[in-house]
Structure 1
Amino acid sequence: AADGTPAAAPAAAAPLPTGLRLELVDPGEAAPQDETLGAARPGALQPETADAVAGSTVNADVAALSAAEIPALGRAETERELLTLRGSELTAAQKAKPYIGPRPRIVTRRGWGANERWRESRFVYTSKVKAAFVHHTATGSKYTCAQAPSVIRGIYRYHVVSMGWRDIGYNFLVDKCGNIYEGRAGGVAKAVLGAHTRGFNTNSMGIAVLGSYGSTKPSKSALKAVARLTAWKLGLYGANPRGKTYLTSGGGNLYRKGKNVRLNVISGHRDGFSTECPGLQLYRKLGSARSTAARYQGR
């Protein structure tokens, strides 16, 4: 942990399946020195700690407290929810015709077994979500979907306990069966500041597809989940998945700090940072994801 105290995994947090490795990401984030990570006792059960309650409360506008999943909504229900969540910020045109995809089912942090004692207690937000960066985790693609929560717990532990970040870097994760998982804490419908694409974490979100997609093609279920998730989350902020947007670089290995960069609203990690991520085979499918997401929005 950041204060040197060893943070043991809870009994439910199995290691990554044998042979899997993690993508080396460099988001430019480190935990502040004056904030420490809570350490769980070896083998301890995870009660409803203050951090666990807080992590659930930020989703109170879309789910019951301590819910293991956020249920899917139909289009009409999603449009009504949009008016509740962001009605005061919508233009008259948006209220008359809200371009937003139906909310997909999302497994919460409680659902995949996040140890809320590891992350920092505070939540950090940006002003809006203008773009989504798609990643792969480079953890291999031979996992079973029953193993996906364990893989996510391994990534979470690596990001927080090993790397000293405030929380898991990605805002959402998707498995090859099309399940969507809440990533960084702060509320799935909120503009949570992630740590996924160095220089472009502000006003964006990061979606990681579990697996390695350099030579392996992503599943149709995973691609559909990416499209459904982006149609909904980008729709909350009025973004067109088929469109372009401008983000100001915070500094990285492709763009100097302060440069205003024109990007696809749905981009790959490599568009903002020099990396192989999200793998050539997944990157090639982003055009299809954009079109599908826009169709889900009713565009």
Structure 2
Amino acid sequence: MNRVLAGLGAFSLIVAGALAAPPVVQAAPKPVVTSENDVELGDFAKPKPEVMRAEGLPDGAPLSTDGMVTKTAKPPTLRLTRTNLKPFSMVGVTWQYDSAVDGVSVAVRTKSGASEWSTWQAEGLDDAADDQPDQRGGSAPIWTGPADAIEVAVSTVSGAAPRDLRLALIDPGTSPADADDSLATPAVSEQVPEVVPARAEKGIRGSAPMPRIYRRQSWGADPRMMTWKPTYSPMVKAVAFHHTVNSNTYTAAEVPAIIRGIYHYHAITHKWGDIGYNALVDRFGRIWEGRAGGVNRAVIGAHAGGFNYETSGIAMIGDFATANLPQLMKNAAAAFIAWKLSMYHVSPNSTATLTGGPNTLYSARVTVKVPTVFPHRQTSNTDCPGEGGMRALPGIRYQALHRIH
């Protein structure tokens, strides 16, 4: 832990006005192969034979925070229980993409072998990539940990009912790098050249050093899964702040597998071609490279449907619907945000004008003013980044601003 703290506090010197990169972690030797087992659920009007349609959820199963806006006490729900499955660690439900589908809650509980059922977890809609052909709509992914049995309840609470529903059971695979202690002691130095912004916004003129970022190879990204060629904005005007809605008690060794699961779900299941977030931060204060294309460039992500252009998406690994962010996580998020925005002379404590949509919040293309570090819920119909994330944002903005010199 001390080594992680030291890593977050180690900054490079600013030489001749350019940002020098700090040491970058050593790459894992091989990409990790992930796999997926799909179970067809059918439609709400015609569920598959083993799927039961009911009014209301199973006892103890919650609606997602997004789904709680419903005024229906017993929303139409598809329910399925399956045991003796191929082992998996992450799940999600997808459906034929339809922008009219705007209120779906997915609740799951799992078990492994003879163990007891886990507590229920619930999640709402994941956002969409911009203009990605053949993409599927769906819930955000849910990290369950190793399991071989599942009970799932899919409720439609508003908007059009989704069609062609499929339950995705994802095995993120394993790698010796998952429990590699060297992840805490980066040893390989890589110089990342400064990217000169195409234009500068009014704002700060200082710069912040690049924090230590664990590259895609470190979490075992398999490049063969990518069907998306990196595309770029001329600059980054704002950073969208997310949470991934995973357990908050994961171990340091589980983080690469969690990211691989999200990668598979975004790239393969959703058909976005790559992981949606530009960066992810774990509870131990480590920053991980997400979407491919260069950590120091304005890569267009798939994290805030309709508003991916000229934004960067950073996701906190955990569920902060109510919980508070750990201090190490807030420190790391502020370090990344300060570095990313200062490259384009954008203040972390200002506002930006974005044009985007349509998406889950806007029925047509709109121009909106947002904070330069804005919560995902401000541009999409979602609770993300949760109330804990909302409470953390003012302090993160303030800390990011004061990291810029």
Give the shorter-chain TM-score range: 0.7 to 0.9
- Paired with 1:44 and 1:276, the residues of 2 have a C-alpha distance of 32
Matched ranges for 1:88-103 at <5 A = 98-103=205-210
Q: CA deviation at 1:31?
A: 4.5
Q: CA deviation at 1:223?
A: 0.5
| Aligned residue among 135, 143, 167 for 2:250 | 143
Q: Which residue of 2 aligns with 1:293?
A: 400
TM-superposed CA distance for 1:221, in Å, is 0.5
**Is 1:217 the equivalent of 2:324?**
yes
Q: Do 2:337 and 2:400's aligned partners in 1 also have CA atoms closer than 8 Å?
A: yes
Q: Is 2:34 aligned against 1:9? A: yes
Q: 1:32 aligns with which of 112, 133, 139?
A: 133
Aligned mates of 2:255, 2:388 — CA distance in 1? 20
* Matches of 1:21 and 1:30, distance apart in 2: 27
Once the two structures are superposed, residues 86-106 of structure 1 have per-residue CA deviations (whole angstroms, 9 ceiling, x without a partner) of 178569x99xx8422111000
**Residue pairs, 1:67-216, within 5 angstroms:** 82=194, 85-86=195-196, 98-120=205-227, 122-216=229-323
Compared CA separation, residues 192 and 70, structure 1 to 2 (3 A): farther
Within 5 Å, give how 1:238-257 maps onto structure 2: 238-257=345-364
The answer for unaligned runs of 5 or more in structure 2 is 1-31, 36-87, 92-109, 111-117, 135-172, 176-185
The whole-number CA distance in structure 1 between the counterparts of 2:332 and 2:280 is: 10
Cα RMSD for the two superposed structures? 3.2
SS of equivalent to 2:401: helix
Report the AA paired with residue 26 of structure 1: D
What is the alpha-carbon distance in structure 2 between the residues aligned to residue 254 and residue 204 of structure 1? Answer: 17
CA 1:156–1:187: 2 relative to 1, 3 Å: same
Deviations 1:123-175 (A, max 9, x none): 11122100001100001211012211110000001111111111100000000
Q: Distance in 1 between matches of 2:260 and 2:130?
A: 19
Alignment: residue pair count: 248
**Is the alpha carbon distance of 1:70 and 1:278 closer, same or farther for their aligned partners in structure 2, counting shifts above 3 Å?**
farther
**TM-score normalised by L of structure 1:** 0.74
In 2, distance between residues paired with 1:265 and 1:70? Answer: 32
Deviations 1:237-294 (A, max 9, x none): 1110000010012222333533210100001101111211101011111010000000
Specify which structure has the higher proportion of helix.
Answer: 1
Partner of 2:389: 282
Larger Rg: 2
Shift in CA distance, 86/25, structure 1 to aligned 2, threshold 3 Å: same
| Counterpart for residue 237 of structure 1 | 344
Query: 2:362 matched to 1:261?
Result: no
CA distance in 1, matches of 2:245, 2:320: 7
Judge conservation of contact 1:23–1:137 (CA < 8 Å) in 2: no
- How high is the sequence identity, in percent, across the aligned residues? 35
Q: Write the distance in 1 (CA, Å) between the matches of 2:299 and 2:258.
A: 22
Which amino acid in 1 is paired with 2:367? N
Calculate the TM-score normalised by the size of structure 2: 0.55
Aligned residues of 1:70 and 1:106 also touching (Cα < 8 A): no
Higher strand share: 2
- Structure 1 portions without partners, runs of 5+: 1-6, 34-42, 46-67
